[in-house]
Amino acid sequence: MNQTKILKAVRNHDVLLLDVRTKEEYLEGYIPEAILYPLSEIQSATTFDFPKNQNIYVYCRSGRRSGIARKILRKHGYKVKNIGGILKWRLEIEKANPFVK
């Protein structure tokens, strides 16, 4: 999927964008509007607070962890698309303030 279309869908709230990397990786830079939800938390969760009708896109560093997250979330009945890794993201990246917890 086109990265411009992904960003537009996220900004229009048509899609929920989850970054499944670690907090440390997230602080180094993330796709705008992305919500940090590490794979380790997805793996240990028994329920999720996302609306079932919400489309969800997941990404990580290279696409491997987001693929795992996609499988888990789909088993819970969510509509999920793995958009791959941030290493291939060519649009803007936001930097997190390391002093904000």
Of 6, 7, 15, 60, the active-site residue reads: 60
Determine the Cα–Cα distance for residues 37 and 84; give it in Å rounded to an integer.
15
| Contact (CB, 8 A) for 71 and 20 | no
60 classed as catalytic? yes
Active site residues: 60
